[in-house]
Structure 1
């Protein structure tokens, strides 16, 4: 058989056969046919993309690649995928005669097909020159190909014969440039499935390429389905059995615009925006705007909560969808692991996942339904390896972004805008959910889909460039009404109030801006006889999950034994947990954060109406200095301590001024005015003592915005010019102080064991806790070269040893001088020399 002398893969075992490159390329082409079928692409262009995707590894028909597989000789200068693009260029006339298209259109797609390993080749940056003589890079490439050139040319012809109607004619350069990003990810997905020996076993003979393609079509159909990326269809029918709330009803009836659509849902916390978004996404899918969805949330905790919540309904939305959880700790989610390991029966409403999808967050975005952090989607607009796979995966999904107000910082706001533009260019639709979106940010996001609105009404449902609903009927259920705001001068006042309210049977919470302040507050409350609980981000994951479960059992939606319960927490309480308190204290913070926090006050009025509460009305007590008395730029420090450093002082002062002037967080129709009084163009000028701080903040915001513009991929340049494969660490999705991960351990007679119960990788992962790198690295942490620690880390990859420090916790909680850990208080910095 003429193709047997050009291997595509080494034998899996010493006694097995090589898999010819031609067969591997047909495997990938067969997978590509399955993947591309549901997309609205004309048949000739679809076939042309299948041909190019199949020929992605044409560079394996080369002497250098064959020598590498059979003799262990490293490839000189060009790797096989770089040779693929070079051969495309060398055989451009042959390809042009069969596929058509302009030279620049073909070159744009050559780079996308060949660059399936995460980036385009550096060798062909200049493209194909008009003169006949090939450039130096091509001459070098041809030397690597050697006697493979003629077989490679014949294989190109053979592929074109198998798809005789394939054509690039009519594809403009602008469309090809946009398509190049999608195609690079499409080729990667097809190659990853087509390369998997679980499905595509090595074969050495076939009657013809056409005969081999026929048999691998059957295998490809099975492989794509088992991998969980065959696609699904939206089911017709209702989603919920309860009476819809006003925003939910609006989402079920609003007119949808033609083509890619952006909707922004603005409503108060607890108004049922998640269900509203699911209703709208379902309608979008039924209208052909998507074949699945990706739900993007601000944190892993919110993603975990949404996974449990949405998993109960997506089976009604789609026919037996594959569902994934996408974030750095997804493997520790018991509900997700149960889903992956469960058997698939195909019954109505069933959801499932696959081992293949669960292996990587990159693959997770290929699932019918993905639920994860916004970071997983934002990586598709940064120049990191396989960002195009995320672009491709998202393109068929309705992108739902929750808590958009948390993405208002300049860096992440620019990323979000770029994500929406990219998603729209790929034909995708999106839904944004928020309770507190400033008008300026709303305008920026609407503009990504050519929309605009200056309407100040609230709540609001807005379709970019289309319909809007701003009038909603009153709810037929109890509402908490306006939240009165009262200022407290000192932490001592806060402690006194909490002790008094808890004694009267109220479920109370104090939201602090800084972890150290939260720990200190709990210690003071406990000294006063109040058995306060604590929750913040500096707990080992096992302890945080345990504490969260205990808190939800007490003050969650259906919590029991809530009387007298007291919780002190940080920003993790703003959005991650569905909690309901009778009394709330909060450190002064920007107005958006305060509104979110107040959303956990008197939250479930249908379950716990006013008549059943131990206090007469909802009051937000705010620990804050008087905004009318600002002596210098340290206005906050005497009252908040470390929490004074967390937010920009100008935003905090404006929030305090607006909040205490109004004296309440009013009904929903008053909320927009409150937000704009802080973030709007007519916001109150800050006192002179805070002018420099505001100017410094403006400078930092400008720098962050500039960094985002520098980091975000230049999509208009196309994949050939702008594609990269940098490390995620070099291009973060968020800015902030770098974290250091500590892996906590206990000492036993048999050596160090994980802090979390159990053994193995999961127990060690559940024992991890993060803190600011500068603070941690300034301490004398345990010696990582000690024998007991080396016994744990000896098999770790280098990157993991560089990022994580194993820290044994002694019986008294000590880790080192200045640092200790307690299961009920978390990681505590005890040395004044390292505390800010």
Structure 2
């Protein structure tokens, strides 16, 4: 008989909770996860792997999930959890208990999940699981042991062969005698309560199926471990006499079964059921779909899709790729029985922007309520997402989950498109039926991180959309290829979007997915999509779809590209210098109005360009010129009445709150004219935005002219997508602009060849800059036909047969680029999970000890979060006006910071690349002691700014002076 004095949960409870109670609760929650969370495709793959029907597969997985805490039946755990209550474990005699404690003490400490892993093979063998047929790692019972041994996030090493015969030989701390008998009693009792699930006669499951089951076990454990769940069960059990009898256990199971669906609903787990139909059904506000959208609708809807597949869409910006992806995702998801969506983007800004669009799409097309999460490191700082949550201690979610590694859950009173608190806790957001976030959130699923089973579970049930698939270096691109392999193996349909993608890279992305789904696909012929165009390939079988004919782009135009060879200097008197060229190109804006952007390579150069333009306009319009400082204007009318163009600077080294203000202002000047609040500069007074690459992807802006530093061809074409971007309704264009025009400032030396400024560092590959410049020079001003010329230009930059005017220099630069790409790809291969078809054990999938908040899925200079702090005789302040005090502690209990306080503080933080300045930091740069209680505040570096009557004196750190300026942002000199 099961002894209910064996305790499974204790902390925070008035009375201990028996192990058997938690095992049954977890099993019944797992059944609800199967019914209400898993997609049809996920269930089918599990049943197929186990070679049983769906109902039997459900009961088998429930049984496994229930067994996860069997390792708590050992002296160490019971001693830890019960010694303060009773001194010894009551179901043993004191002599036997003392004997086992003595043996336990000699053996060393063992975590209960590792005890489960060691004890389970023998117990499953006793239930009839096969023990022959290969080495232990290839047996189902040892794979199940590894899954359950990993329920706290790390898969243990493969079982020792001794675990099948006598686990005590390797793990004497498990306890013999009554301990072993009770482990067997608990396993048999659970097996009986669940109706004696069948013993699968199969070999080990495919690893991609095993990790989904592992994710189910973790989720079931977390849901069943919530304090209010256990207390509810305890109250129900109190009315049941003889809880240890089989009849009472069945009553307990029925109670848990009734409760489980509501628990999942409260947590925000479930499936997203989207309406199906034509494109106009999903997007009724789009009266005239783009040709691309109609082509995808016609091609996919008429093909009778079955099973997962991959769709690659290439088209210029503005051709409706986002809506195309959402439509295709609903169709492809329905075709393979998946239910949900993850939309992956390159930056936090693009993810934030997409969040609003996905909310609108979901509200229009969801058939049932489903929750939507925003996934990136600063999601809780984005007010449209974070604003609906109550103000709570930043790192003390309540009520707690009673687990020794995972805090946090709160019951959500209702379900909406917005995610509740349970899903917002760390590591859980990917489980939401709908999610949008940075690509990093998916890429971490192919790194050996703790609890990546949750990412595997979350991604395998969704259609994954990856936007800007071209926008990554060789390291991140290699991780993306591995991710596509895993998504193919997991059976998740994928949509890839790009405006500028080489044919070889396009083919490689599709092939990676197909190879993951079936290694025999590695030799499958994959066509390169036309531009604009699309190609669909089924994961299994040989179905390949393409447009019936050439597609017409709504963005067809002739792009004028003028290349100006300049000396990279900011000396205004230098006629052939960069600054002179910028001023010359912007004279038309100053004289005749209109909107222009100047895109610079580095933040420092953007600041210098902005200062030079400000000084130039001051000189031209007098010291009363207001266009550079919105604080100088008493109201909008006074600024509108001022002479000279409006002038703003935007880059990444502004505090989040200031950057948001500038971004909103830029959108009001350069955004779509049919949007509320947009007031495009008209008449003689124009506007100039000086920026870095931050405006390439994240903002929907329209300029009459873009002046850009030289960049790789794909990036230049991406920037050109901001020129005459909005065609419907058409904005008013100034008289001086007759066509969309891009001016490229190419830094050259005395010999007329490319001379890359040292200040650019490693921002771009020199060989790509040289190839881009030579290609543009060869065109000699011939306009670029968009989209007709785009694919050719992007491919030609990488062509092996490229003929250069400076072949020796290009060969040297190409060699360095290829070597660097190979090194980055090799590094990615070293840190990533192996391809799914090469995984023989689950253990390597979670070997990293890295904190996921610090994990790098992209290479480059590490950013340090710094906080400019303004100091005067009255104290320390967050603002230059010395009106907002720097909080030494929070307003919460015991000085803790609430979530809104953390959000407010982080809005003043600026990212600054790591460098020698960081080594020079000392006590003056450390945050207040109370900040150490909140992880995101503890890592902040303070930059004291001394406020004097003559202005602000920045922080001297080593050889650098770092100063914050309202208009310029953080300046490092």
TM-score computed with the length of structure 1 as normaliser: 0.90
Alignment match, 2:147: 112
**1:50 pairs with one of 62, 65, 89:** 62
Worse-matched range after superposition: 177-186 or 509-518: 177-186
User: 1:198 deviation in Å?
Assistant: 3.5
User: Within 5 Å, which residues of 2 pair with 1:144-543?
Assistant: 147-164=178-195, 166-167=197-198, 169-173=200-204, 175-201=205-231, 203=234, 205=238, 206=240, 207=243, 208-237=248-277, 238-241=281-284, 242=286, 243-255=288-300, 257-318=305-366, 319-340=368-389, 351-360=417-426, 362-407=427-472, 409-447=473-511, 448-449=513-514, 450=521, 452-455=525-528, 457-465=530-538, 466-469=544-547, 471-474=549-552, 479-489=556-566, 490-491=577-578, 492-529=580-617, 531-543=646-658
SS at match of 1:393: helix
Partners of 1:783 and 1:345 in 2: CA distance: 45
- Contact 1:327 1:376 survives alignment (8 Å): yes
Alignment match, 2:161: 128
Partners of 2:58 and 2:321 in 1: CA distance: 38
Partners of 1:568 and 1:198 in 2: CA distance: 55
User: 1:522 deviation in Å?
Assistant: 0.2
SS at match of 2:360: coil
User: 1:46 deviation in Å?
Assistant: 2.6
- Contact 1:289 1:398 survives alignment (8 Å): no
Structure 1 19/303 Cα, relative in aligned 2: closer, same or farther at 3 Å? same
Partners of 1:146 and 1:773 in 2: CA distance: 59
Partners of 2:495 and 2:132 in 1: CA distance: 39
User: Within 5 Å, which residues of 2 pair with 1:20-35?
Assistant: 20-35=18-33
User: 1:2 deviation in Å?
Assistant: 4.5
Deviations 1:343-402 (A, max 9, x none): 99989xx62321111122x21100011010000110000011111111111110100011
Alignment match, 1:96: 128
Structure 1 240/100 Cα, relative in aligned 2: closer, same or farther at 3 Å? farther
- Contact 2:448 2:844 survives alignment (8 Å): no
**1:773 pairs with one of 914, 918, 921:** 914
Alignment match, 1:62: 74
Partners of 1:707 and 1:100 in 2: CA distance: 39
TM-score computed with the length of structure 2 as normaliser: 0.78
Partners of 2:229 and 2:163 in 1: CA distance: 43
User: 1:681 deviation in Å?
Assistant: 3.8
Q: Is the counterpart of residue 654 in structure 1 residue 768 in structure 2?
A: no
Structure 1 127/45 Cα, relative in aligned 2: closer, same or farther at 3 Å? farther
User: 1:129 deviation in Å?
Assistant: 4.4
- Contact 1:112 1:720 survives alignment (8 Å): no
SS at match of 2:384: helix
SS at match of 2:865: strand
User: 1:554 deviation in Å?
Assistant: 1.0
User: 1:227 deviation in Å?
Assistant: 0.5
- Contact 2:653 2:912 survives alignment (8 Å): yes
- Contact 1:462 1:469 survives alignment (8 Å): yes
Alignment match, 1:783: 924
The count of corresponding residues between Structure 1 and Structure 2 is 808
**2:814 pairs with one of 680, 694, 699:** 694
CA RMSD, Structure 1 to Structure 2 (Å): 3.0
SS at match of 1:669: coil
- Contact 1:384 1:731 survives alignment (8 Å): no
Worse-matched range after superposition: 247-256 or 305-314: 247-256
- Contact 2:312 2:495 survives alignment (8 Å): yes
SS at match of 2:274: coil
User: 1:763 deviation in Å?
Assistant: 1.5
Partners of 2:485 and 2:931 in 1: CA distance: 43
Worse-matched range after superposition: 196-205 or 565-574: 196-205
Partners of 2:822 and 2:173 in 1: CA distance: 45
SS at match of 1:568: strand
User: 1:684 deviation in Å?
Assistant: 3.7
Partners of 1:341 and 1:794 in 2: CA distance: 23
**1:636 pairs with one of 739, 747, 755:** 755
Segments of structure 2 that go 5 or more residues without pairing to the other structure are: 45-53, 85-100, 392-410, 515-520, 539-543, 567-576, 618-644, 888-900
- Contact 1:485 1:660 survives alignment (8 Å): no
Alignment match, 2:867: 743
Partners of 1:172 and 1:461 in 2: CA distance: 40
Structure 1 166/743 Cα, relative in aligned 2: closer, same or farther at 3 Å? farther
Partners of 1:743 and 1:163 in 2: CA distance: 57
Alignment match, 2:662: 547
- Contact 1:438 1:680 survives alignment (8 Å): no
Partners of 1:678 and 1:177 in 2: CA distance: 40
User: 1:167 deviation in Å?
Assistant: 3.6
- Contact 1:507 1:582 survives alignment (8 Å): yes
Structure 1 691/478 Cα, relative in aligned 2: closer, same or farther at 3 Å? closer
- Contact 2:2 2:185 survives alignment (8 Å): no
Alignment match, 2:713: 591
Deviations 1:747-785 (A, max 9, x none): 478754545979721111112111111143155566246
Partners of 1:549 and 1:775 in 2: CA distance: 34
**2:790 pairs with one of 647, 653, 671:** 671
Structure 1 132/390 Cα, relative in aligned 2: closer, same or farther at 3 Å? closer
Deviations 1:687-734 (A, max 9, x none): 312432322222221111111111111241331344324214675211
- Contact 1:461 1:469 survives alignment (8 Å): yes
Structure 1 25/627 Cα, relative in aligned 2: closer, same or farther at 3 Å? farther
Partners of 2:873 and 2:218 in 1: CA distance: 49
User: 1:211 deviation in Å?
Assistant: 0.9
Structure 1 97/453 Cα, relative in aligned 2: closer, same or farther at 3 Å? closer
Deviations 1:318-350 (A, max 9, x none): 222200101111111111124556999989xx6
Structure 1 240/150 Cα, relative in aligned 2: closer, same or farther at 3 Å? same
Structure having the higher Rg: 2
- Contact 1:101 1:168 survives alignment (8 Å): no
Partners of 2:335 and 2:433 in 1: CA distance: 17
User: 1:473 deviation in Å?
Assistant: 4.7
Structure 1 36/654 Cα, relative in aligned 2: closer, same or farther at 3 Å? same
User: 1:236 deviation in Å?
Assistant: 3.4
SS at match of 1:281: helix
Alignment match, 1:833: none
Partners of 2:82 and 2:860 in 1: CA distance: 49
Structure 1 30/744 Cα, relative in aligned 2: closer, same or farther at 3 Å? farther
